[in-house]
Copies of this chain bind each other. A is one copy, B any other.
Amino acid sequence: MSQSPSSLDALKNLTASLYGKDFLLTWDKSAEELELVLLVAETLRDLYRQNISVRCFDTGLAISNFRDQSTRTRFSFASASNLLGLAVQDLDEAKSQIAHGETVRETANMISFLTEVIGIRDDMFLGAGHTYMLEVAEALDDGFKNGVLAQRPALVNLQCDIDHPTQSMADLMWLKEYFGGLDNLRGKKLAMTWAYSPSYGKPLSVPQGIIGLMTRFGMDVHLAHPENYNLIPDVLEVGQTNAAASGGSFTHSHDMAAAFKDADIVYPKSWAPYHVMEKRTDLLRAKDQNGLKDLERACLEENAQYKDWECTEDRMATTKDGKALYMHCLPADITGVSCQAGEVADSVFERYRLETYKEAGAKPFIIAAMMLTSRFEQPAALLQQLANAETPRKNG
């Protein structure tokens, strides 16, 4: 007989529900709702490792709409969908009639007649991604309420201009595993810092997502970046409010050394300044290729002033016992490997390489948990039923 995972027992004690709700921003969710997602994800992973099928749909579609390139999230979404029994259908806007002036409201309904989940990545245009997702959500509500759709598909944010909840929740699941429980995160210092990269235009959603989520669990979150490299102001406020409520702290500086000093966790990662992303959005909308090239040049020149914002061995030595956990959403710009000078020294990355892979490995289960908690009213009962059935995922 299979062993019922302890996460499943913990799940039964929760009263929070995400049934019928979309997952767009972590700070829209209560702490218990976030814990619900974590526990469902852990249970799914445990059952998967025991070769127990967690397929809970016999048929049904999961639609992905990637408005930007993706490997990790694309495969995580495909894995999560398949794990639950859904077939992925990609909405490739280049191959569709959407360019013909079709409304978001219409498309959202047209693709949803037999659809259980829609995942969207839209992170290129500042001020656009989250707004677009809200518009899709409203259209789905409208279609479901009026009998156009037989079911209301769950919407999962696969990265927008504001947040990247599948990344930050996977990171949280990894931290919980690494440190042995959410309670153990209390009082831990996490340095979310900018880092130099020879590319530009990287989205803000990862640092914003980390700040918005990790301040919920009593951690001491230190955000550090060069003066010009601001994030969206609203999210900084979210960080402040969260830290105050959770008994942690939120520090904001322009000092990488201060951030790393005695840190338990470091998350050094490049991003483009908020004002650059705003200008880039305008240029992208105007399809101004020369303007974009000029902006890139200016931005890379500015970046180049901060080549010392690298996660080196020296910097790592200043962290707690010289052994802070290095994190990254991948792919990292590794000095001497993927670029001449980048976010992280080769030796540092190599020491934590497998840890970053394990961090990434949480994402398929987090996405599956977001899908499952939105589409099933009683996740604990469903998972217990699946655990009891012991249908092998792989025969023989």
Interface residues of A (CB under 8 A from B): 48-49, 53-61, 63, 66, 69-72, 74-76, 78-79, 82-85, 87-89, 91, 95-98, 100-103, 106-107, 109-111, 113-116, 143, 146-150, 199, 330-331, 333, 337-339, 354, 357-358, 360-361, 363-364, 375-378, 381-382, 385-386, 391-396
Can you name 11 extra interface pairs (CB under 8 A) apart from A61-B79, A79-B113, A113-B364? A48-B150, A61-B82, A69-B95, A71-B110, A75-B111, A78-B89, A88-B89, A100-B331, A101-B338, A116-B394, A381-B396
The 9 closest A-B pairs by CB, nearest first: A101-B338, A71-B96, A79-B114, A382-B396, A102-B331, A56-B395, A53-B58, A148-B357, A78-B89
Give Cα A89–Cα B64 distance, bound, in whole angstroms: 12
Contact at B61–A78, with CB atoms within 8 Å? yes
Give Cα A333–Cα B101 distance, bound, in whole angstroms: 8
Q: Return chain B residues, CB-CB under 8 Å to A354.
A: 146-148
Q: Which of B49, B71, B72, B96 contacts A70 (CB 8 A)?
A: B96
Q: Return chain B residues, CB-CB under 8 Å to A111.
A: 71, 75
Q: Return chain B residues, CB-CB under 8 Å to A84.
A: 59
Contact at A392–B89, with CB atoms within 8 Å? no
Work out how many copies of this chain go into the complex.
3
Contact at A113–B78, with CB atoms within 8 Å? no
Specify the chain B residue showing the minimal Cβ separation from A338: B101
Q: Return chain B residues, CB-CB under 8 Å to A149.
A: 361
Q: Return chain B residues, CB-CB under 8 Å to A338.
A: 100-103
